[in-house]
């Protein structure tokens, strides 16, 4: 049981493919923060995943720095957890190659995210897009992760992780920990403000569809007022009222109230009043994070030093797993002289 204490290990990753949204905050980052005491947490900015769709190099570099700073600002604490950038730890790409040889093309081509992204980026169905889940499998398995907090859209990828881990263990003996999904609180799935049947996405072309964690208060208020609702005029959760249901979900998540309590609070009040109230709680939740973010981003040297420390800590764990895998599959160990 080398270096494993009583605490379970949590692993998760986030793509620097756009600025993080309120959906990322409520659905993921906020939970990452609250898990840090109970678990041994490792969080990764997965820049290697991001290049499966075309990225502008300067933009990706900037967003990677910004995402890292924003995670720090949102409470990810390098003293308690490991926070690092994926491309800083070569073991991810190295394990991916090995695990590619233990994953079937059929398994990958069946992934719904692959099918969706192939449709969306029909001019660029590159091998990385197909192979992306194996990189994610490697992220998780390198760190002997017990729990992986993920949204519903990543469940298939976690299933694959479990299958590949078990397959490898069967062939070579106990090597990987077979991870469990960690499903956050219900109602934590935040939807687009413009098309509330769709998940809020940081890469949405319509900026009114999402609230970025770094949006200024007046921008947040304006986007809220423009949020798509319905003509009924009552603040209540219902499947035929996805827009209002989503706003209730946001309000409930940020105030800690039950949705019924939110409905009660806004009984007899119009959508205008309700939307302004939702905007207020969002502004209040994000303001302190935004202030800390500016401080972190202002000191690039300090940020780079934190990234380096994070990569060092991650690498120590990852390289141990990778060596074990190399030995098991029959690679000759390089003896340095
Ligand atoms: N694929 C995930 C997403 O797009 C991000 C991710 C990459 C991840 N590696 C991971 C999540 C490992 C959890 C664990 O959201």
pLDDT of residue 86: 98
| Pocket of ligand 1 contains residue 13 by CB under 6 Å | yes
pLDDT of residue 188: 64
Q: Which of 213, 209, 239 is nearest to 226 (CA)?
A: 209
Closest atom of ligand 1 to CA, residue 14: 5
Cα 16 to Cα 287: distance, rounded to the nearest angstrom: 21
pLDDT of residue 259: 95
pLDDT of residue 151: 85
Cα 319 to Cα 142: distance, rounded to the nearest angstrom: 8
Residues 53 and 158 occupy one common structural domain = yes
| Pocket of ligand 1 contains residue 49 by CB under 6 Å | yes
198 is catalytic: no
The single residue listed with the structure tokens 């003509």 is 231
199 is catalytic: yes
User: 3-class secondary structure for 151-215?
Assistant: CHHHHHHHHHHHHHHHHHHHHHCCCCCCCEEECCCCCCCCECCCCCCCECCCCCCCHHHCCECCC
Mean pLDDT of the chain: 95
* Mean pLDDT of the 136-156 span: 95
300 is catalytic: no
Residue 170 lies in a domain: yes
Cα 147 to Cα 150: distance, rounded to the nearest angstrom: 9
Residue 221 lies in a domain: yes
Residues 173 and 318 occupy one common structural domain = yes
pLDDT at 2 over 70: no
Number of domain units in the chain: 2
pLDDT at 185 over 80: no
Task: Say if residues 23 and 194 touch (Cβ distance below 8 Å).
Answer: no
For position 276, which CATH number holds?
Answer: 1.10.240.10
Cβ-based neighbours of 122, under 8 Å, separated by 6 or more = none
pLDDT of residue 17: 82
| Pocket of ligand 1 contains residue 145 by CB under 6 Å | no
Q: Which structure tokens are listed for 335?
A: 């003896």
User: If residue 146 lies in a helix (H) or strand (E), which one and from where to where?
Assistant: none
pLDDT of residue 183: 79
Q: Which structure tokens are listed for 15?
A: 């793509």
| Pocket of ligand 1 contains residue 11 by CB under 6 Å | yes
Give the number of other CB atoms < 10 A from CB of residue 26. 24
- List the alpha helices (DSSP H) in 81-154: 91-100, 105-109, 112-120, 127-142
| Pocket of ligand 1 contains residue 201 by CB under 6 Å | no
For residue 187, name the pLDDT band (cuts at 50, 70, 90).
low
Residues 131 and 15 occupy one common structural domain = yes
* Mean pLDDT of the 17-37 span: 92
Residue 199 lies in a domain: no
The two beta strands, 40-45 and 9-14, are: parallel
For residue 1, name the pLDDT band (cuts at 50, 70, 90).
very low
Distance 201 CA to ligand 1 centre (A): 14
Residues 241 and 140 occupy one common structural domain = no
For position 76, which CATH number holds?
Answer: 3.40.50.620
Distance 211 CA to ligand 1 centre (A): 21
Task: Say if residues 16 and 56 touch (Cβ distance below 8 Å).
Answer: no
Cα 144 to Cα 267: distance, rounded to the nearest angstrom: 49
The residue range of the domain holding 78 is: 9-183+300-329
Q: Which structure tokens are listed for 285?
A: 């939740």
pLDDT tens-digit profile of 196-237? 999 998 888 999 999 999 999 999 999 999 999 999 999 999
Closest atom of ligand 1 to CA, residue 135: 9
Distance 2 CA to ligand 1 centre (A): 26
Residues 28 and 102 occupy one common structural domain = yes
Residues 319 and 261 occupy one common structural domain = no
pLDDT at 28 over 60: yes
Q: Which structure tokens are listed for 178?
A: 């077979």
Residues 91 and 140 occupy one common structural domain = yes
* Mean pLDDT of the 90-117 span: 97
pLDDT tens-digit profile of 274-326? 999 999 999 999 999 999 999 999 999 999 999 999 999 999 999 999 999 99
Supply the residue whose CA is at minimum distance from atom 13 of ligand 1: 12
The 8-class DSSP code of residue 100 comes to: H
CA atoms within 13 A on the CB side of 258: 3
């Amino acid at each position: 049981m080398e270096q494993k204490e009583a605490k379970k290990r949590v692993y998760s990753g986030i793509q620097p493919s756009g600025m993080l949204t309120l959906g990322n905050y409520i659905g993921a980052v906020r939970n990452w923060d609250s898990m840090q005491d109970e678990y041994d947490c490792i969080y990764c900015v997965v820049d290697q995943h991001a290049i499966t769709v075309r990225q502008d190099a300067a933009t990706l570099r900037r967003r990677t720095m910004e995402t890292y700073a924003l995670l720090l600002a949102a409470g990810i604490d390098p003293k308690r957890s490991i926070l690092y950038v994926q491309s800083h730890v070569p073991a991810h790409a190295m394990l991916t190659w090995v695990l590619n040889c233990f994953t079937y093309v059929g398994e990958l081509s069946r992934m719904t995210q692959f099918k969706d992204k192939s449709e969306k980026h029909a001019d660029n169905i590159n091998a990385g897009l197909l192979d992306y889940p194996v990189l994610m499998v490697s992220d998780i398995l390198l760190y002997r992760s017990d729990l992986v907090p993920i949204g519903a859209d990543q469940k298939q990828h976690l299933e694959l992780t479990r299958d590949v881990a078990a397959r490898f263990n069967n062939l070579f003996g106990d090597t990987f920990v077979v991870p469990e999904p960690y499903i956050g609180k219900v109602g934590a799935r935040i939807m687009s403000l413009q098309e509330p049947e769709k998940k809020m996405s940081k890469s949405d072309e319509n900026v009114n569809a999402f609230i970025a964690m770094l949006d200024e208060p007046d921008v947040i208020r304006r986007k809220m007022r423009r949020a798509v609702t319905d003509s009924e005029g009552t603040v209540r959760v219902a499947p035929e009222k996805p827009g209002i249901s989503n706003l209730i979900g946001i309000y409930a998540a940020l105030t800690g109230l039950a949705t019924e309590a939110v409905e009660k609070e806004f009984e007899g009040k119009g959508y205008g009043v309700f939307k302004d109230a939702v905007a207020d709680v969002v502004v209040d939740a994000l303001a302190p994070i935004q202030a800390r973010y500016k401080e972190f981003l202002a000191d690039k040297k300090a940020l780079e030093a934190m990234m380096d420390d994070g990569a060092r800590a991650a690498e120590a764990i990852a390289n141990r797993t990778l060596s074990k895998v190399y030995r098991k599959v029959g690679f000759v160990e390089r003896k340095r002289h």
